[in-house]
Amino acid sequence: MDITHCHYHPAEPATWHCAPCRRPYGDCCVPLNADAPDQTPGCPLCRRELTFLGAANSAQPFWERLPSFFRYGLQPGPLSLCAVLALAGMFMPSSLLLWFLLFSLATKYLYGVIEACSQAESRAPSLTSAFFGEGYSLFFKQLVVLLVAAIPLWLARGSETLYLLVDLAIMLVLPASIIRLALDKELSAALSPVQVGQVIGAMGWRYLILFAFLFALWQSPAYLAFFLGEGVPKAVLLPVMLFFSGYFSVVMCALMGYAVFQYQGPLGYIVATEDGADAYPEAEWRRRVALIEAEVRLKEGQGDSALDTLASALERTPEDFQLNERFHRLLFALRARERCLRHLAHYLPLAVRANPAQAATAFLNGRALQADYLPDDPAVCEALAVSLSERHKHREALSLLRNLHRRAPDYPFLARAYLLAARLLAEGPGDVEQARKLLAFVQARYPRNVQSPEARQLEALLTRLAPET
């Protein structure tokens, strides 16, 4: 089976498809709305409803999961079935009717295992499920399939070679017939060469791998009987054989069911992934939809459309930091100079609160577009200066604080801002003399801040650096 991947994220398996756009999408491109679980998501490009692909591209190959099928048979439901078969072998009278009823229940349970595994259910059905609902006729339908399969064998009895070839062909198609009967519950489907062939065609040459594993499992009870036959009494051998026949039958059915899950796409069955895609509250869902649509449109070369998508989302939630951050980066990447500078006035106050490092990057982007760019808000200037100083961008940090008392005379934290500027002068350019002048300016103009911790620390720093100047 060729795995289809997301058109925009080649490492992600596709779980959705847009027919008009001819684009496969992974869960990475299609967030789900937890507040509207029945809502079909739309294409990030054309916004039409998507077609769900299920786990057709994300299921692990069945040959890599063989140990899990053996563990599956050790759950309470399968072990209960095995125990019932073993007890029947010990105590149930030789009544054809009773044995027919027992095998009818067992067949119903085994087909239930195929159906459950085809839906990616890791928990085996309980044995009580075999006593309720429909499905008792599956045993008799399976008998009919076997009787029909016996006809070509009877016709080929005259030639040993032909008989062996027919026998091999019947064994080869029997798992596909069982799968079709388990899924459709119709005898006609299990006997239809077209529908049985569809199962084989969906798996391709991997069907031979499935057949090889099933054949080995089918022969396991016979090998067990061969090894135990000589030393174990027949009264004990029959229950043991029935127990292990039940166990290996469950393992075989779990394997066939998972094969349906793996190849659900070609088989026409749509099942969700084993883990299921993440769903988000509506506010988070709207944010993710906008971000993904913008990303997809940008990758399609539709930069203006990507900007419009984010702008529309920001009209609903103007304070959303992630949307604003993505909008800024896109404006800067597209060199939308005027629009980017206008947006910075709104974005920087958000960024200095949410992520000062990203705020500093956004400011530097603004400087790349306009060399003398300065935010209007003095609090933003001070916060940016702190963040830039941590990145050793002393020159840019100082430019934010220069003449701040003239630009914002009513800013209540001017003294603190200028103490920061003095420290930057001393630590950055090493201009201790200018730092002392600025400290003296603060002491003269803002005497209440002379004994602040920042002022004392700055005085100590300048004293330590003084001999070096």
pLDDT at position 276: 58
CA 180 to CA 198: how far, in whole Å? 9
* Lowest mean pLDDT segment, chosen from 50-64, 207-221, 344-358: 50-64
- Phi, psi (deg, nearest 5) at residue 23: -125, 125
Nearest residue to 175 (alpha-carbon basis) of 257, 112, 117, 120: 257
Query: What is the C-alpha to C-alpha distance for residues 45 and 183, in angstroms, rounded to an integer?
Result: 36
- When pLDDT is averaged across residues 119-148 and rounded to a whole number, the result is 84
Q: Please say if the pLDDT value at position 275 is more than 60.
A: no
Task: Say whether pLDDT at 127 is over 60.
Answer: yes
Maximum average pLDDT range among 278-282, 342-346, 446-450 = 342-346
Lowest-pLDDT range, 154-163, 209-218, 245-254?
154-163
Residue 167: partners with Cβ closer than 8 Å, 6 or more residues away? 153
Q: Average pLDDT, whole number, for the chain?
A: 86
Q: Per the structure block, which two tokens stand in for 137?
A: 């006729």
What is the pTM assigned to this prediction?
A: 0.68
What is the mean pLDDT of the segment spanning 108-118? 90
**Whole-number percent of the chain with pLDDT over 90:** 44
304-337 pLDDT, tens digit per residue, is 999 999 999 999 999 999 999 999 999 999 999 9
Cα 167 to Cα 177: distance, rounded to the nearest angstrom: 15
Provide the pLDDT for residue 229.
67
Contact (CB, 8 A) for 264 and 271: yes
Q: What percent of the chain has pLDDT over 70?
A: 90
Residue predicted with more confidence, 265 or 364: 364
